[in-house]
Structure 1
Amino acid sequence: MNPAGARKAALALATMHPADRRWILGRLPEDWRSVLNPLINEAQLYTALDAELLQAVLADEPSYVAREVPPPDVLIVLLDRLSPAWAARVLAAAAPDHAEIYLAACEKSRAASVRHELDRLPSPFPPALADAVARYLDTSGQTGRTAGVAP
């Protein structure tokens, strides 16, 4: 059993009802059980498994789960508070469809800097970084909506 397959199997088994997990593990070879059991225990100790995220991991899809993008006025304020490099990362990771809207609203030199950074970013964007950036945008956007405009 390869390590990636073992981790995926352990994640799937960790989410099962204990009786179902015991039934499946009881039908596996002992060497597989000895690999899976510690991974299952670790998954249960350190994670609150999200069903949507689990399905993405098991399907070999990126771990990023789509989040709501703030309205354009809030998004612009949030992005303006970031350096051009980080504004580009936020756009690439969480709001790629809004990049042109933001760039059109920017001062010419800032738009050029952000566009330059966008061109330098890897494709595809690293999934773990995309998820972290999307969480930042989601949290900041909610704060901005609560305050009427980004704080």
Structure 2
Amino acid sequence: MPVAWRTTLQPLINEAQRYTTLDAELLQAVLADEPTYLMREVPPPDVLIVVLDRLSPAWAARMLAATAPDHADIYLAACDKSRTEAVRYELQRMPNPFPSALADALGRYLDNSAQAGRVAGVVS
């Protein structure tokens, strides 16, 4: 490859390589079909509420079902009536058992959103 091309493409190659890094624990859990999302820590209720409020009712319900089913009542108590009804409706439609790969992805999203909110000062 010509040097000029390499210089132009190297940042893209570096970025692409970030997505090829494997999390050994996650890979082992997936191969063992373990629900890794159960091992994740749920953020405090105030942080959870801020993250869930940014999602549509359907995605908030999925997030609750996947990562914090025991916190659904706490969240719904903080919502207005129409949102509560919409999230409850979606919760009733969730598959049982919840797909573990989706639950794990939502757990990571919740972790990342909570951390990003703390860094940005949006959540305490």
- TM-score, reference length from structure 1: 0.61
Query: Cα deviation per residue 1:81-135 (whole Å; 9 max; x = unaligned)?
Result: 1110000001111111111100011101110110110000101111111111111
Q: Which residue of 1 aligns with 2:89?
A: 116
Structure 2: gaps spanning 5 or more residues: 1-19
Partner of 2:101: 128
Structure with more relative contact order (C-alpha pairs < 8 Å, separation 6 or more): 2
Query: Runs of 5+ in structure 1 lacking a partner?
Result: 1-45
Residue type at the aligned position of 1:67: R
Root-mean-square deviation over aligned CA pairs: 2.2
CA contact (8 A) 1:93 1:125 kept: yes
Number of residue pairs aligned between Structure 1 and Structure 2 = 105
Q: 2: distance between equivalents of 1:107 and 1:95?
A: 20
2:122 is aligned to 149
Equivalent pairs: percent with the same residue?
Answer: 71
What secondary structure sits across from 1:64 in the alignment? helix
Distance 1:67 1:148 in 2: 22
Using structure 2 for the length normalisation, give the TM-score: 0.73
Aligned equivalent of 1:50: 24
2:76–2:84 CA contact under 8 A, matched in 1: yes
How far apart are the structure 2 equivalents of 1:90 and 1:147?
22
Asked whether the equivalents of residues 53 and 60 of structure 2 are also in contact (C-alpha less than 8 Å), the reply is yes
* 1:103 aligns with one of 76, 84, 97: 76
Shift of 1:75: 1.2
Residues 73 and 149 in structure 1, CA contact (< 8 A), matched pair in contact too: no
Shift of 1:68: 2.3
Counterpart for residue 93 of structure 1: 66
